[in-house]
């Protein structure tokens, strides 16, 4: 077992120990499928990759509240309204878990939020699409949460312990949301002709952006190889995308809805569904900030943060005063 | 409700309590994605969900919850004018919550202690409401006794909403508890929190001829109609559809 050497504390390195010995121990721990913990030594690039990925993941939860919160005040029944409110609340909770997990790597929530607001860290491209009808809430649950789960379930075995543990909790709630989204679409699909059309329109608009959530094709994915060696990532983008398509096709059939891809068909030889080409130009434009809602999402996030500044300052001032009182009483 | 119904449900009272919870829940739902810190995204949604749960039980005692929520017009709603007031800044939202949760906590404690038709609901809800009240009190202290500018905001908010607080103590037909009996305890509790928050208790009238009992009679303030227009539009666009 590599444990003893790998789990030396991070600080020990500063005492002049041999870095390459730590590297060997780290590599051995990863190879043995052991979890790396916050106080363990880790390569700087591993730390930086994790901070980038976890921050982006946390930001996606926070920005991802917006397209759905857009429908809370217009939800068509009290039951659906309660489900949607609970879901948006869960997303805020997921953001909190993920910022806490990222903080174990030596960054802070404030720092990460500042980077998000400055446009220096990204969030999932999918949340730059608008929710135009109630059915979009269902399409997000079924497709967007479905794609997120396909991506995230392997992260429950990620080599970094705090991230893996956060993902176990998050995936449980996400699969619940995904079923609720599916059930919402099913109700619409089986409802009136107008409701059915609303559901189909939403699936037509969300299908391709959902496939883009798996990232660029394998031959263009910059971080993939290293992340797979480090066991941050367990499957390639294209593998996960294929898995998602294979899951969705029969689900769409049972929903009574079609997927907007004329090339979609079962390939007996591959035992997978073939599907049409993705518009990577659109994907790149959205990533560059030119999607339908990039400006709106970031502006709302910045505004909430700026308008809330006085509240955070008040809480800090109150805490300082009352700690002083406690301090004075103890003195 | 599990208790067998030996007497008909007092519609006016159930609608009054149910509409209060429904409308305030809706207002809190408007905060989603706009809160000053992530923890408040969680807290405000949590309170909104508790209230929505209470509203659903209460409206279901009278009829179909969705018909009642989505197909009544402004003049048929029986909620307090206080709960329909726009969110304003965070201080306004907290002041509204402090005033309402303190009242609701006192009321539900009394209802839970009795054996009327609302006792079952109140017994469950009073635990949630105690949390809402604590949340509002803690924030009143932080905003009131925080910075100079936060104190100014809390003073403005508590003063602006003060005029709507008298209505809470008007009698409600069919309610086992006479709300006017709660008034002294409410003034004492709210006054205590405001003073601990270094704030003054507002001096203006708590209601006048223009507001006394108005919401309970279906007479509302201007922002309420727009709130309902948004809340009801989709349901009304698809008559008879299920969701």
Q: What is the ipTM of this complex?
A: 0.96
CA separation for the pair B107, B54 (Å, rounded): 14
Residue among A66, A76, A308 minimizing CB distance to B243: A76
Beta-bridge mates of residue A266: A273
E strands present in chain A: 265-267, 272-274
Contacts of A153 (CB under 8 A, 6+ apart): A167, A171
Question: Residue A75's closest CA among B54, B21, B222, B70?
Answer: B70
Q: Which of A131, A310, A316, A323 to mutate to test the interface with B (most CBs of B within 10 A)?
A: A310
Predicted confidence band of residue B212 (pLDDT cuts 50, 70, 90): low
Would you state the pLDDT for residue B7?
67
Would you state the pLDDT for residue B209?
58
Would you state the pLDDT for residue A25?
93
User: Which chain B residues have a beta carbon less than 8 Å from that of A76?
Assistant: 70, 234-235, 238, 241, 243
CB contact under 8 A, B30 and A78: no
Contacts of A88 (CB under 8 A, 6+ apart): A65, A68, A69, A72, B32, B33, B41, B45
Would you state the pLDDT for residue B130?
98
B141 touching A (Cβ < 8 Å): yes
CB contact under 8 A, A92 and B45: yes
Contacts of A25 (CB under 8 A, 6+ apart): A2, A5, A6, A8, A41
CA separation for the pair A159, A56 (Å, rounded): 18
User: Which chain B residues have a beta carbon less than 8 Å from that of A187?
Assistant: 242-243
Looking up tokens 């107008």 gives A194
Predicted confidence band of residue A132 (pLDDT cuts 50, 70, 90): very high
Would you state the pLDDT for residue A87?
97
Q: Are B28 and B44 in contact (CB under 8 A)?
A: yes
Question: Residue B168's closest CA among B17, B11, B9?
Answer: B17
Give phi and psi for A232, each to the nearest 5: -80, -35
CA angle, A21 as apex, A16 and A25 as ends, to 5°? Answer: 130
Query: What's the alpha-carbon Rg for chain B, to the nearest Å?
Result: 17
The tokens for A148 are 């997120």
Would you state the pLDDT for residue A323?
79
Would you state the pLDDT for residue B205?
87
Average pLDDT rounded to a whole number, residues A132-150: 97
CA separation for the pair A241, B163 (Å, rounded): 58
CA separation for the pair A61, A66 (Å, rounded): 9
Residue among B35, B55, B56 minimizing CB distance to A308: B35
The predicted-structure confidence for A48-82, as pLDDT tens digits, reads as follows 999 999 999 999 999 999 999 999 999 999 999 99
The predicted-structure confidence for A174-229, as pLDDT tens digits, reads as follows 999 999 999 999 999 999 999 999 999 999 999 999 999 999 999 888 788 899 99
Average pLDDT rounded to a whole number, residues A147-167: 96
Q: What is the dihedral sign for C-alpha B152, B158, B159, B160?
A: positive
Contacts of A177 (CB under 8 A, 6+ apart): A87, A90, A141, A145
Average pLDDT rounded to a whole number, residues B67-81: 97
CA separation for the pair A70, A85 (Å, rounded): 11
pTM strictly above 0.80? yes
DSSP per residue, B10-63: -HHHHHHHHHHHHHHHHHHHTTTTT-SSHHHHHHHHHHHHHHHHHHHHHHHHHS
Q: Which of A315, A323, A325 to mutate to test the interface with B (most CBs of B within 10 A)?
A: A315
DSSP per residue, A155-178: GGG-SBHHHHHHHHHHHHHHHHHH
CA separation for the pair A283, B144 (Å, rounded): 48
User: Which chain B residues have a beta carbon less than 8 Å from that of A192?
Assistant: 238, 241
Predicted confidence band of residue B204 (pLDDT cuts 50, 70, 90): confident
Average pLDDT rounded to a whole number, residues B122-133: 98
How high does pLDDT run on average in chain A? Answer: 93
Among A residues 191-250, those touching chain B with beta carbons less than 8 Å apart: 191-192, 194-195
Predicted confidence band of residue A295 (pLDDT cuts 50, 70, 90): very high
CA angle, A75 as apex, A70 and A80 as ends, to 5°? Answer: 120
Compare all CA atoms of chain A with the CA of B198 and give the residue at the minimum distance. Answer: A318
Predicted confidence band of residue A324 (pLDDT cuts 50, 70, 90): low
CB contact under 8 A, B55 and A78: yes
Would you state the pLDDT for residue A75?
98
Would you state the pLDDT for residue A327?
47
């Amino acid at each position: 077992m590599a444990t003893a050497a790998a789990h030396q504390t991070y600080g020990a390195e500063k005492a002049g120990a041999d870095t390459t010995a730590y590297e060997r121990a780290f590599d051995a721990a990863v190879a043995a499928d052991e979890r790396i913990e916050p106080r363990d030594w880790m390569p700087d690039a591993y730390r930086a990759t994790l901070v980038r990925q976890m921050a982006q993941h946390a930001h996606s939860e926070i920005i991802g509240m917006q397209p759905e919160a857009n429908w809370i005040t217009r939800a068509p029944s009290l039951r659906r309204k309660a489900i949607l409110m609970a879901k948006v609340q869960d997303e805020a909770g997921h953001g909190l878990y993920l910022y806490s997990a990222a903080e174990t790597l030596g960054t802070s929530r404030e720092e990460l939020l500042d980077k998000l607001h400055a446009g220096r860290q990204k969030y999932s491209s999918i949340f730059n699409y608008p929710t135009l009808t109630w059915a979009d809430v269902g399409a997000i649950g079924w497709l967007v949460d479905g794609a997120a789960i396909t991506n995230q379930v392997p992260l429950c075995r990620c080599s970094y312990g705090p991230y893996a543990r956060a993902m176990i909790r998050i995936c449980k709630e996400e699969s619940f949301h995904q079923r609720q989204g599916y059930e919402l679409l099913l109700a619409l699909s089986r409802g009136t002709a107008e409701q059915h059309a609303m559901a189909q329109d939403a699936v037509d608009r969300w299908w391709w952006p959902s496939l883009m959530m798996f990232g660029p094709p394998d031959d263009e994915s910059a971080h993939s190889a290293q992340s797979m060696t480090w066991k941050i990532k367990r499957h390639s983008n294209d593998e996960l995308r294929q898995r998602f398509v294979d899951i969705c096709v029969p689900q769409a059939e049972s929903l009574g809805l079609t997927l907007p891809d004329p090339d979609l068909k079962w390939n007996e030889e591959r035992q997978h569904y073939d599907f049409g080409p993705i518009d990577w130009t659109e994907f790149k434009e959205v990533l560059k900030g030119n999607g339908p809602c990039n400006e709106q999402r970031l502006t709302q996030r910045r505004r909430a943060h700026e308008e809330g500044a006085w509240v955070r300052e008040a809480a800090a001032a109150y805490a300082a005063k009352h700690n002083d009182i406690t301090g004075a009483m103890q003195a | 409700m599990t208790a067998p119904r030996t007497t008909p449900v007092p519609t006016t009272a159930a609608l009054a309590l149910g509409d209060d919870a429904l409308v305030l829940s809706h207002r809190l739902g408007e905060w989603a994605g706009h809160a000053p810190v992530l923890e408040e995204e969680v807290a405000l949604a949590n309170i909104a969900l508790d209230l929505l749960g209470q509203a659903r039980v209460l409206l279901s005692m009278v009829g179909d919850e969705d018909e009642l929520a989505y197909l009544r017009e402004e003049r048929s709603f029986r909620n307090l004018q206080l709960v329909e007031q726009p969110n304003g800044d965070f201080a306004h939202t907290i002041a509204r919550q402090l005033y309402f949760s303190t009242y609701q906590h006192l009321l539900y404690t009394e209802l839970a202690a009795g054996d009327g038709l609302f006792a079952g609901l109140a017994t469950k809800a009073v635990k949630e409401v105690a949390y809402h009240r604590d949340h509002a009190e803690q924030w009143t202290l932080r905003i009131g006794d925080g910075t100079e500018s936060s104190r100014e905001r809390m003073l403005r908010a508590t003063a602006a909403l003060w005029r709507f607080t008298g209505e809470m103590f008007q009698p409600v037909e069919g309610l086992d508890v006479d709300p006017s009996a709660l008034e002294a305890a409410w003034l004492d509790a709210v006054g205590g929190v405001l003073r601990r928050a270094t704030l003054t208790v507002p001096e203006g009238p708590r209601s006048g001829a223009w507001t006394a009992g108005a919401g309970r009679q279906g007479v509302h303030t201007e922002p309420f109609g727009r709130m309902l227009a948004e809340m009801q539009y989709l349901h009304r666009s698809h008559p008879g559809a299920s969701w």
